[in-house]
Amino acid sequence: MPDAVELIRAKRDGRTLTGAEISWLIGAYTAGLVADEQMSAMAMAIYFRSLDPAELRAWTAAMVSSGERLDLSGLPVPTVDKHSTGGVGDKVSLILAPLVASCGAAVPQLSGRGLGHTGGTLDKLESIPGWRASLSGAEMMTVLAGTGCVICAAGPGLAPADRKLYALRDVTGTVESIPLIASSIMSKKIAEGTAALVLDVKVGSGAFMRDITDARRLAETMVALGGEQGVRTTALLTAMDEPLGRAVGNGVEVAEAVAALRGDGPPDLVEVTLALAREMLLLAGIDADPAAALADGRAMDRYRAMIAAQGGDPDAPLPEAARVQTVTAPASGWLHRLDARAVGVAAWRLGAGRARKEDPVSAAAGIICLAKPGEQVERGQPVLELRADAADRFGRAREALADSIEIADGPPELGPRVLARIGL
């Protein structure tokens, strides 16, 4: 039987771990036989030494095998899901799941909560009165079979090794390791049981991956892992230098997603959503036009059915913040830059995000981008609307926004939102 300290030393010193060693380590850690401090040391060793393709394949397979794997084969339509690596204003899932379902696929979207400057899909949907994120396996299947889509929290039985390891990485400075990111994301998605998966890998100041070379490497790594585990997987690299859409927060993003489902969404949000929808339908083998489903109301009907099936009232008013302030343009001209990370941090400080997983979030707090790059503004014109439940939230939010706005005399050159496609 291997020894945890022996394996830590081996990886620290650059030796390749065998599949049997990795399988034992993950199994023993899940069972509580390997201590958190030992797995923290292993994570740091991996951060510096990385995992080669065979090690990463074994590591991911062991994470999947640490718990149950859902069986969606009984559904009468193809299954396909999407995962985003996280950004600012990224409410795509709220639109995408019902949109793709309305085109004939089943979308089992197991989502997470926000941490730091990036928002979480579950936090956003919990702004809707009555809506439930936690569903039993039977409830999840009932919603999925009845509406074609479900957005809910992953149950404790799915990839429990990842649940433990993720918490360690967050507090030990090892989050940025590409092998650990890739295995974390893909172990949950493989265990989810979907037949196909599209990855939205964000790139830019507001993304986890700021450099396109790192983003491409992460995308290629995850696409390969999906294929090796029998999940048809592709990835789109999408820009995240400015917030996606105009709303950043929880309730405000739900409102913007509903506007998009009504056919009145911001162009950048609609562009990214339709690109991902087309990719999902391609992988699912479905010949359908998602733009038509958005325009004729089918996607909205699915959204309303999904929200109701999870206990929510799609007609209930969303929470409104008690206090509002604005940030104005420091000069007249063209807005060249609205830094996504700064806006995300400011929204977090207003109460929309959390520093620790157990922290509460405000459903009403957030930011509305009244102007976006490429638009003209006048000095003193409101550019950002800040929303919070308490007045003492605004000071630190404004500090985060101090250098976030750049204005110039001429219009900027705006690049595409979809930067590259990785995969089949």
Q: Do residues 261 and 351 both lie within one domain?
A: no
Please confirm, yes or no, whether 83 is among the known catalytic residues.
yes
In the block, residue with structure tokens 């959204």: 303
Each residue's pLDDT tens digit, 61-74 = 999 999 999 999 89
Name the helix (H) or strand (E) containing 385.
Answer: strand 382-388
Residues 184, 187, 362, 404: which is the catalytic one?
Answer: 184
Q: Do residues 168 and 257 both lie within one domain?
A: yes
Please confirm, yes or no, whether 162 is among the known catalytic residues.
yes
Residue ending a domain, choose from 272, 287, 309: 309
Q: Do residues 136 and 282 both lie within one domain?
A: yes
Q: Do residues 248 and 388 both lie within one domain?
A: no
Q: Do residues 370 and 238 both lie within one domain?
A: no
Cα(291)–Cα(101) distance, integer angstroms: 13
Residue 91, CB-side half-sphere exposure with 13 Å CA sphere: 29
Does the residue 370 lie in any domain?
Answer: yes
Q: Do residues 351 and 379 both lie within one domain?
A: yes
Residues 49, 82, 83, 189: which is the catalytic one?
Answer: 83
Cα(85)–Cα(185) distance, integer angstroms: 9
Does the residue 21 lie in any domain?
Answer: yes
Does the residue 254 lie in any domain?
Answer: yes
Residue 301 sits in a domain whose CATH number is 3.40.1030.10
Each residue's pLDDT tens digit, 214-234 = 999 999 999 999 999 999 999
Which of these, 369, 351, 349, lies nearest to 360 by C-alpha position?
Answer: 351
Please confirm, yes or no, whether 403 is among the known catalytic residues.
no
Residues in CB range of 331: below 8 A, 6 or more apart:
379, 407
Structural domains in the chain (count):
3
Which of these, 250, 256, 282, 386, lies nearest to 328 by C-alpha position?
Answer: 386
Please confirm, yes or no, whether 90 is among the known catalytic residues.
no
Residues 188, 246, 349, 387: which is the catalytic one?
Answer: 188
Tokens in use for 422? 């990785």
Q: Do residues 92 and 187 both lie within one domain?
A: yes
Please confirm, yes or no, whether 187 is among the known catalytic residues.
no
Residues 91, 124, 169, 202: which is the catalytic one?
Answer: 169
Does the residue 377 lie in any domain?
Answer: yes
Residue ending a domain, choose from 275, 309, 343: 309
Which of these, 296, 311, 313, 291, lies nearest to 100 by C-alpha position?
Answer: 291
Q: Do residues 252 and 167 both lie within one domain?
A: yes
Residue 392 sits in a domain whose CATH number is 3.90.1170.30
Q: Do residues 132 and 165 both lie within one domain?
A: yes
Q: Which residues pair with 421 in a beta bridge?
A: 236
What is the predicted pLDDT for the residue at 116?
66
Q: Do residues 140 and 211 both lie within one domain?
A: yes
Residues 162, 200, 268, 339: which is the catalytic one?
Answer: 162
pTM value? 0.94
Q: Do residues 161 and 124 both lie within one domain?
A: yes
Domain of 301? 80-309
Residue 11 sits in a domain whose CATH number is 1.20.970.10
Does the residue 64 lie in any domain?
Answer: no
What is the predicted pLDDT for the residue at 119?
75
Does the residue 265 lie in any domain?
Answer: yes
Q: Do residues 243 and 335 both lie within one domain?
A: no
Q: How many CB atoms lie within 10 A of CB 357?
A: 13
Does the residue 63 lie in any domain?
Answer: no
Does the residue 418 lie in any domain?
Answer: no
Tens of pLDDT along the chain (424 residues)? 789 999 999 999 999 999 999 999 999 999 999 999 999 999 999 999 999 999 999 999 999 999 999 999 899 999 999 999 989 999 999 999 999 999 999 999 998 877 667 778 999 999 999 999 999 989 999 999 999 999 999 888 889 999 899 888 877 888 889 999 999 999 999 999 999 999 999 999 999 899 999 999 999 999 999 999 999 999 999 999 999 999 999 999 999 999 999 999 999 999 999 999 999 999 999 999 999 999 999 999 999 999 999 999 999 999 999 999 999 999 999 999 999 999 999 999 999 987 776 778 999 999 999 999 999 999 999 999 999 999 999 999 999 999 999 999 999 999 999 999 999 7
